[in-house]
Every structure is written in C-alpha cells, then in structure tokens.
Amino acid sequence: MNTINLSKRLQTVAHFIPMGSRLADIGSDHAYLPCHAVKKGIVTFAIAGEVADGPYQSALKQVQTEGLTNNIFVRKGDGLEVVEPGEVDCVTIAGMGGTLIANILERGKEKLTDVKRLILQPNIGAISIRKWLLENGWMLISEEILEEDGKIYEVLAAEKGDPYIGYEENLESGLLLGPLLQIKQNEPFRKKWTNEKDNWKRILRQLEQAGDKPEIRRKKEELLHKISLVEEALGRK
C-alpha cells in the first residue's frame, strides 16, 4: 500500500470524502489517507492527527516525502484535540475499535460544530458508533462492508440530520447489524454475521455447562436474543 494505491479498506473511506472538503484524519498512522486525498484532488487541506510519537513521526516523514507540507499539517495530540473549532468540515477515523472511535467523538464534540460529514471505519464494535450517532443527531447516509486479507470491515458515513432515518423497521437490529447493510446483505455481511452467530452458539453451549448463576442466565439470554436478531435478518434474503 502507498498513497496512490490505498488498501481496499482505506479506498472505501476515501470514496466518502466530499470533493473540496477540509479534512481531519484522526489516528492517521502513515498519513496515507490524507496524502491520497490531496494527490487525487479530493481535498486541498488536511490535518493528520496522531497521539503516539512513532506514528506521528511516520506521518510527518510521509508528508515531507510526498512534498505535501503546504497542504497537510501533521499534529500530535489525543483525538480531536489536534483540530481547532471550525477548521475542518470532514472527519475520518479508521482502524480502531468502535468503542474508542465513539469515545473520541464524545470527547471532541465541541470540535464537530462545523463538521458536515463523519467517515468512520471500526475494526470491531460498530454498534458503539451507531449508538453515538443516534444519540448525537447524526444520520447514517451510507454504510459499506467489505473483506480484505481475511478480515471484514465496516465503513459508516454520517451527516447531521434525523438520526432515526433507516431504523424504522427495527432499531435494535439496525444498531447491531447496520440499518443499511442489512438491506443490501452482500457476501461479506452474510459471512460476518453467520460467523458471529456460530460463535455465539458455541459460547452458549459452553455456558450450558457453567451452572445456573444469575449472571450466567443473563449472558445466555443476551446471546439468545442476538442470535435471534441475526437469524431473523439473514432469513430475509
């Protein structure tokens, strides 16, 4: 992977960046995504944010090597603290857990006033992001699910609007599976949730041998409910 030929995962993220955006890429690592966006003419201004020194230095070096220091500003800081209010109108956060991404958004809410689009790619736990978007007035405008190198990734794009649009049929199922993803149900979607369902059934069998304590019963009920949601969704196609 390089700044021209991104991974399939990051290419999907880049696809959702509106032309002419002022971009902040949080957790930018080698700054491949902002470099790509500038070189492709998608954006002319970007911030690459990193909290750890190693990735920060890697991003700095990459931007210098690409000759993009006038367009991309590499900043060291935690989450959205690298962004000044009103400085960007598009934020990308990719390659982290969903809970961490939701926490970054929550801690930096005051920086999102002028942001028009969020593009979020959790490695796991997309439900945490969907809940945060729902609670904070962000509407899912698109979702993609893809497989790359044996791993399945979800990409969520959101803009300010009615956060309940798309969830009309079943809020709980939509939060877990993705309200838009469960309509399309492509091959990676069906593979992911078939595997999740099989794993939950395996855990359930183990719990059957673990006695009848209240916490065990609660866990079993939770797993049975999630299995039911997935089976119902997969059965629609």
Summarised one tens digit per residue, pLDDT across range 144-169 is 999 999 999 999 999 999 999 999 98
Contacts made by residues 56-64, CB under 8 angstroms, sequence distance 24+: 58/29, 58/30, 58/31, 59/28, 59/29, 59/30, 59/31, 60/31, 62/3, 62/30, 62/31, 62/32, 62/35, 63/31, 63/34, 63/35
Q: How far apart are CA 82 and CA 76, in angstroms?
A: 7
Q: Where are the domains of the chain?
A: 8-169, 188-234
Token pair of 74 as six digits: 């590499």
pLDDT band at residue 236 under the 50/70/90 scheme: confident
pLDDT of residue 140: 98
Q: What is the pTM of this model?
A: 0.95
- 22 pLDDT above the threshold of 90: yes
Q: What is the mean pLDDT of residues 50-62?
A: 96
pLDDT of residue 2: 76
Q: How far apart are CA 41 and CA 19, in angstroms?
A: 8
- 1 pLDDT above the threshold of 80: no
- 81 pLDDT above the threshold of 70: yes
Residue of 160, 158, 145 whose CA lies nearest to 191? 145
Q: What is the CATH superfamily name and number for domain 8-169?
A: Vaccinia Virus protein VP39 (3.40.50.150)
